[in-house]
Structure 1
Amino acid sequence: MLVVETIAKIRRAHFVHGKAIKAISRELKVSRKVVRKILRSGETAFAYERRVQPMPKIGPWRDELDRLLATNAARSSRERLTLVRVFEELRGLGYAGGYDAVRRYAASWRRRESAAAASAFVPLSFAPGETYQFDWSHEIVLIGGVTVTVKVAHLRLCHSRMLFVRAYPRETQEMVFDAHDRAFAFFKGACTRGVYDNMKTAVDAIFTGRERRYNRRFQQMCGHYLVEPVACTPAAGWEKGQVENQVGVVRRRFFAPRVRVKSYSELNAWLLDRCVAWAKAQPHPEAREKTIWEMFEAERPSLVPYRGPFDGFHAVPAAVSKTCLVRFDNNKYSVAAGAVGRPVEIRAYADRVELRQDGRIVGAHARAFGRGETVYDPWHYVPVLARKPGALRNGAPFKDWVLPASIERTRRKLRAVADDDRQMVDILAAVLTDGLSAVEAACAEALAEGVCSADVILNILARRRDPAPPMTIMTPEALRLASEPVADCARYDSLRRAL
C-alpha cells in the first residue's frame, strides 16, 4: 500500500519539477503504472478495501453462528458466554474452521448490531413553568475531617435550566419532600409537571406503558404543590436528560476538588451560593445572549405560586420500652414517661424526629444519622425521679445536663445537704407545672436572700402562683355623703314599749 509521503513526492516531482513518469519511476522505485494512476486520479491517499471477503470455512455456518451470537447477547452479563465458549459450541455442531475466523466474524457482527441499535433523539423544548426534572447523585466530601458519601438531590427547571442542589445523609422519602420544599421556596414557585425516574420513594408499582401506582405520601406532596408527576420508562435516562447532564456538571464544577466543610448546613449553604453564581455566569444553551439566571428571572412569573411548606414526614409505628426509649433508624430517642406501655407514631423529617401518641407530641429531637446513638431529653425522666430520686446522680439522661444558671447554682449548693437529691427532684418537678422561667426566677430570688432550700423555692413559687389579696378600695370624693346619718337608739326603745 502506498503511503501518503510517497504519493506527495510523486506529485511534487511531476507538477513542480516537471519530471517525466519514467524518471519518477526509476528514482522512487515505483512502477510507471502506479505513477500514472497517482497523477491521473488526483488523489493524495489510497486505501485498499476487499469488496468480497471470502469465508470458505465459516460461510456455511454463518446462520448458525448468528444465532449463537444473538442468543449470547440476549443473556445477562453474569451469564454471558465468552467468545471461546461460543466457538466451542459451534465446533460441537460440526464447524471445522479455526477460532480466529470466528473472532473476526463476531467483531463485524457486533459492529452491525450496534449500528442497527443506535438510537436517534428529537430535541425537546419546554414552555416557561411547564416542567422540572428531579434526580439523585452520590458525591464524596469531607465533613468534620471525615470522608462521607452524601446523597445529593438535583432539581432543574427545563425552560430556564435553573438548578437547585442540596445534600442529605439519606435518600429516603422525607429527604425527597424536604428537597422539593426547599427548591420550590428558592424558585418561589413550582412547575405544572415533574419528571422522575422510578424511585421507590415515589413509585410503588410499574405497569405497562406510562401507567404507575405512586406512593400515597408522594401523591399528597404533588397535590400540595399542584404538580403532575410523570415517571420515565425504566432504564431510559434520556427522558430526563437535562437533570442527568446536570449531575455530571455539578460533579465536575462543584465537588472537584473534594469539598471540605464542618457540617451539612455549611455544605448546603455553599452549594446554594454556587448554584446562583454558576447560573449568573453560564449562558443559556438556546438564548446565548442571556444567562441562565436572566432566563430564570423571566420564567418566575409563569411558575405555580409557592404554596408554603408541605408537612413532609415519613410515619412509622413503634413501641416504647420501659426506659422511655423508642428505636428508629438504628438509633434510640426518649419520650415522656407517661407514654410508656403504649405504641407511638414516629414522624421522621429530614432534620428532626417527632414522636406522637393519641395526637399529642410526647417527644421531639434533632435527628441522628449514625448507628447505635441514644438521644435523651432529661425532662422526659423527671416524673420518674419522684419515685427514684437517687437516679438523678447516675442516670444516663442526666449526664452533662446543662441547666439554667440559677438552677445549676442551687444544685451545687444543695450538694452539702443530706437529702440533696430529694430536694433537687422537688425543684425540677416544679418545672413541669410552673415552667422553667418561673422556677429559675424563684431559685434566683432564694439565692439572693442567701437561702438554698427546696421548701423555700416552692414557697416562693406558691406565692407567685396565688394572687395577693385585693387592695382596699378608696371612696372617691364624688361619692362621699354631705351629711352622714347619726345613730338614734331611741327607735329601738319605742319598739320595746310596743311589745
Structure 2
Amino acid sequence: MLTMNQIDQIKELQRQGYGPGEIASRLRIDRKTVRTYMKREDFNESLEAHTTWPSKLDRWKPLIDEWLAEDQRMRFKQRHTAKRIHQRLCGEHAGEYDCSYPLVQRYVKAKKVAQRQMDGFLELVWAPGEAQADFGEAEVMEAGVRKTIKYLTLSFPYSNAGFTQVFEGETAECVAQGLQDIFGYLGGVPRRIVFDNATGVGRKIQQHVALNQLFLRFKCHYGFSVSFCNPNAGHEKGNVENKIGYTRRNFFVPLPVVDRLVDLNMQLFKKALQDHARKHYKKGQTIAALFAEEQTALSPLPARPFNVERYERLRTDGYGKFCLDGKHWYSSAPEYASGEVTVGIKAREIVVYGPDGEVRGEHRRIYGEERSDSIDWHTSIAALMHKPSAWQNSHFRAATSPSVRQALDALPRDRLRDVLKGLVQSSERFGFEVALASLEEAVSVARLDSYSVHAVAARHVYDGLYGIPAAGPDLGVYDRAFIGEKEHTP
C-alpha cells in the first residue's frame, strides 16, 4: 500500500511524460503498482476507517528522525544509511533495542522518499495555464449581519485573469472547494498553482514540502502541480497579491449585501467576466482575449468530481455533542452520547454519519475564535417527540417565539407528542424553516395537531402560506355534459 506522497510522486512524473518503467526505477516501486496508479483518476477518500497498527520501531522513530535531520547539514557521503542507523541503535541501546534491520530499512526508505518531494524552480516568466492562489479578507452583509469573510483568489499571470470565491475560513477544505468551483466554472484545470506558505494546504520547510492529506488527494485527483513561495517572499507571487487588493477595492466596495455567501460567489464569477473586458496592463489586448488563449493550455476536468470532505471519528459528551477546532460544539443525536461518531468535515458544512454511513445530521460549519454551539433542530425535535417530558428545559423551546412556547406549554403530554410528530414529518419532507413557519401558523389559528401542522406546511410549499390555491381544471364541463344530456332525454 503506497502512501499518498508516493502516489503524488507517480502522478507528478506521469505529468512530466515519464513512462511506468522510468517511474518505477526512479521511485523504486514495482512497475505493476506504478501502472495501476497511473491509470487511476479517482482519489476520493473512502469513508471506511483506516487502522494504523503500532510498530516496534515507534519508540525509536524520533531518534532516527533526529539523525536524518542532522544528515541534511552533512556531506552526502557522510550521511546515515539504514544499515548504519541499525548498527548505532544496536550498539548504543543494547538490551533495549530489539527491532530487525528490514523494519529500519523500510522506515528510512519511506522517510528519504518523502524528503525528495520538492517543488521545482519558481519561474518569474509565467506560461499559459499557470496560476497563483491566495486568500484576502473583506467584510460583507449576510442575512442582515455584518461579518468578516475570507476570499480565495486564483489569478493567471499570463493573462492577468482572476476568479474569486468567498468562505468563512482558510482551511484546506475551503481551498479545495474554492478551487473546485473555479475549475468547474472554467471547464479546465491549471497545470501549476503557486501558493503562499501560510495557506491551509501545506507548508514548505527548507526544501521539504508537507501537504495536507485532503489537499494531496485533491491535487492528485485534478492533476496539477504545486509550488510554494519562500517564507517572507510574497513578491514571488506578485500577480495574485495585486489581484487580492484589486478584488477588495472593486468587488467588495460598496459592502456586498446578500442572503447567503453562495449567492455572492455566483455574483463574483459574473463580475470577473465583466472585469476581463479591460485591457492587459502591458500586452495591449483585453484580459478576456488573452485568457481565451490561455484556456487552451488548461488540463481537462476529471470524469468524476472530487468530494471535498474529510472524515474523523470524534468523541461525544453525555449530550451527544462533539467538538471541532477545540472550541466549536455540534450536536449529533442522543443515542450517540458518550461514544464516538463519524463526522464529515467540509468547507461550509459539518455532516454527522450513522454506523451505516447514512446522514444523521447536518450543521453549518462555524469559524472564529469564540466558543460556539450548533444544534441540529431536526434531531433535537425527534428526540423530544420520544421524550416530551424534556420540553420545558429543551433548547428548542427556548428558541421558539413566546406564542408558540405558551401554546405548547399548555398541551398535555400526548398532544404535545402529536404536534412534535407533525413537526418532524414536515421537517423531513419540506425542511425545518417551513416546518417552523407552519407551527407558527397552526398556533395562530388554534389548530394544534400533527395533521394541521403537516397540512399547513404543504400549503406553504405549494401555494404560499397566505396564497390562494390554483383554481385547477374546470370540472363544470362534466356538470354541463350530464345536465345537457338529461335535458335531451325523452
Q: TM-score, normalised by structure 1?
A: 0.53
CA contact (8 A) 1:177 1:310 kept: no
Aligned partner of 2:152: which letter? A
CA contact (8 A) 1:137 1:152 kept: yes
| Alignment CA distance shift 1:122-1:352 (3 Å) | closer
The alpha carbon displacement at 1:279 in A equals 0.7
Tell me what 1:232 maps to: 229
| Alignment CA distance shift 1:321-1:132 (3 Å) | same
The alpha carbon displacement at 1:231 in A equals 1.6
Q: Which runs of 5+ in 1 are unaligned?
A: 1-120, 403-407, 444-450, 458-499
Alignment of 1:65-84 (within 5 A): none
Q: Distance in 2 between matches of 1:201 and 1:156?
A: 18
Q: Distance in 2 between matches of 1:199 and 1:378?
A: 36
The answer to whether 1:422 aligns with 2:414 is: yes
Tell me what 1:298 maps to: 293
Secondary structure of 2:378's partner?
A: helix
Aligned partner of 1:367: which letter? R
Q: Distance in 1 between matches of 2:204 and 2:124?
A: 29
CA contact (8 A) 2:204 2:230 kept: no
Tell me what 1:376 maps to: 375
CA contact (8 A) 1:424 1:454 kept: no
1:71-95 Cα offsets, whole Å, 9 max, x none, are xxxxxxxxxxxxxxxxxxxxxxxxx
CA contact (8 A) 2:153 2:164 kept: yes
Q: Distance in 2 between matches of 1:278 and 1:224?
A: 31
The answer to whether 1:328 aligns with 2:324 is: yes
Aligned partner of 2:217: which letter? Q
* Residues 322-331 or 178-187, more deviating: 322-331
Secondary structure of 1:283's partner?
A: coil
Aligned-pair RMSD on alpha carbons? Answer: 4.1
| Alignment CA distance shift 1:355-1:198 (3 Å) | same
The alpha carbon displacement at 1:135 in A equals 1.1
Q: Distance in 1 between matches of 2:380 and 2:214?
A: 34
| Alignment CA distance shift 1:346-1:274 (3 Å) | same
Alignment of 1:102-181 (within 5 A): 124-127=125-128, 129=129, 131-141=130-140, 148-181=147-180
Q: Distance in 1 between matches of 2:270 and 2:189?
A: 20
Tell me what 2:348 maps to: 351
Tell me what 2:193 maps to: 194
| Alignment CA distance shift 1:189-1:416 (3 Å) | same
Taking every aligned residue pair, what percent have the same amino acid on both sides?
Answer: 24
Aligned partner of 2:318: which letter? K
Greater Cα radius of gyration, structure 1 or 2 = 1
The answer to whether 1:218 aligns with 2:215 is: yes
Tell me what 1:284 maps to: 280
Secondary structure of 1:137's partner?
A: strand
Name the structure, 1 or 2, with higher relative contact order (CA <8 Å, separation 6+): 2
1:341-395 Cα offsets, whole Å, 9 max, x none, are 3112332222211123433433212233464443323332356446632223542
CA contact (8 A) 1:377 1:397 kept: no
Q: 2:338 aligns with which of 333, 338, 341?
A: 341
The alpha carbon displacement at 1:238 in A equals 2.8
Aligned partner of 2:331: which letter? S
Q: Distance in 1 between matches of 2:243 and 2:429?
A: 51
| Alignment CA distance shift 1:292-1:373 (3 Å) | same
Q: Distance in 2 between matches of 1:400 and 1:254?
A: 36
Secondary structure of 2:238's partner?
A: helix
| Alignment CA distance shift 1:145-1:300 (3 Å) | same
The answer to whether 1:261 aligns with 2:257 is: yes
| Alignment CA distance shift 1:427-1:145 (3 Å) | closer
CA contact (8 A) 1:343 1:357 kept: no
Tell me what 2:364 maps to: 366
1:460-495 Cα offsets, whole Å, 9 max, x none, are xxxxxxxxxxxxxxxxxxxxxxxxxxxxxxxxxxxx
Aligned partner of 2:205: which letter? I
Alignment of 1:55-94 (within 5 A): none
Aligned partner of 1:366: which letter? R
| Alignment CA distance shift 1:174-1:316 (3 Å) | same
Q: Distance in 1 between matches of 2:139 and 2:450?
A: 54
Q: Distance in 1 between matches of 2:297 and 2:189?
A: 9
The alpha carbon displacement at 1:177 in A equals 1.3
1:51-105 Cα offsets, whole Å, 9 max, x none, are xxxxxxxxxxxxxxxxxxxxxxxxxxxxxxxxxxxxxxxxxxxxxxxxxxxxxxx
Secondary structure of 1:189's partner?
A: coil
Q: Distance in 1 between matches of 2:174 and 2:352?
A: 18
Q: Distance in 1 between matches of 2:145 and 2:218?
A: 34
Aligned partner of 2:316: which letter? V
CA contact (8 A) 1:137 1:247 kept: yes
The alpha carbon displacement at 1:286 in A equals 5.3
Tell me what 2:247 maps to: 250
The alpha carbon displacement at 1:221 in A equals 0.8
Alignment of 1:5-84 (within 5 A): none
The alpha carbon displacement at 1:278 in A equals 0.9
| Alignment CA distance shift 1:369-1:434 (3 Å) | closer
Q: Distance in 2 between matches of 1:363 and 1:122?
A: 47
| Alignment CA distance shift 1:206-1:320 (3 Å) | same
